[in-house]
Structure 1
Amino acid sequence: MTQPQHLRADYRYFQPITTRWHDNDLYGHVNNVVYYGFFDSAVNTYLIERGGLDIHEGGVVGFVVSSSCDYFASIAFPDRIEVGLRVGKLGNSSVQYELAIFKQGEGEACAAGRFVHVFVDRDSNRPMAIPEPLRAALTELLVTG
């Protein structure tokens, strides 16, 4: 089965990350669970810096309700990577992120994944409309087609 290509040009935002010594597992590559941490860090950095998300005292919280990742090539410490980010779907209270891991400067992804945030009221934990500053930042990453 042929995997679809995930190319750098298909993503709208990139978050650089340096792998760490303890990211490697006994097989000598970054363990699969670490990729989810890379995804989470890229998304939340974007939401804080570009969308004004206040993770400590803001009234809205993003809960991850679904996630997946496909792996195409391994990475290992001390690789420098970049997480590509785009938005595939933007709803009233939810967003589906599409992400890819690229070795620094390379055009084809080593891994690609997705996850869904549902934005909820911090106090009630009930879904709420995505606040306008966050929606505007997410709209900048929205891809169509």
Structure 2
Amino acid sequence: MTEPVPATRADYPQFLTIPTRWMDNDIYGHVNNVVYYSYFDTVINDYLIRAGGLDIHDGQVIGVCAESACQYKAAFAFPEAVEAGLKVAHLGKRSVRYEIALFKQGRDEAAATGSFVHVFVERATMKAVPIPDGLRAALEKLQA
């Protein structure tokens, strides 16, 4: 069986640098596995707010996480910056599947890779709705 090709920086059109925090480290001296999911959430929502106009406080439509996964290849530790790469692997009518890679500064091969699915819902009813035009346009720019 052949190994999958490792994710590299060239695979991702959008990046955000996220500093690790003292509280991210666990007793073993590295960033705890659950924190990687917060990095995923951060790079995604930063992009949606800045590029797509997502209004997290008063918007009628919000994205909710339906699924997420992470594959760990190398550990991060405080103090270290995480360079998070983001792309869209699938853009549907009401949902989007992102692929994320976390890189150590100056490294080309990902230290962790993952996926995250957002379903867009009406905030008041939590019923799935079509992705709003502004968000869709921003997401289209990240399609693989």
Output the TM-score relative to the length of structure 2. 0.97
Query: Displacement of 1:3 after TM fit?
Result: 5.1
Identity, % of aligned pairs?
55
Regions of 4+ moved over 6 Å: none
In 1, Cα distance between equivalents of 2:81 and 2:128: 36
Determine helix, strand or coil for the equivalent of 2:62: strand
Cα deviations across residues 72-102 of structure 1 (Å, max 9, x unaligned)? 0111011111100000000000000000000
In the alignment, residue 87 of structure 1 is paired with which amino acid? Answer: V
2:96 corresponds in structure 1 to 95
In 1, Cα distance between equivalents of 2:101 and 2:21: 18
Output the TM-score relative to the length of structure 1. 0.96
Query: Displacement of 1:104 after TM fit?
Result: 1.5
Query: Displacement of 1:17 after TM fit?
Result: 0.5
Query: Displacement of 1:123 after TM fit?
Result: 1.0
Q: CA RMSD in A?
A: 1.0
5+ residue gaps, structure 2, are none
Query: Displacement of 1:59 after TM fit?
Result: 0.7
2:130 corresponds in structure 1 to 129
Determine helix, strand or coil for the equivalent of 2:67: strand
Aligned length: 143
1:116 corresponds in structure 2 to 117
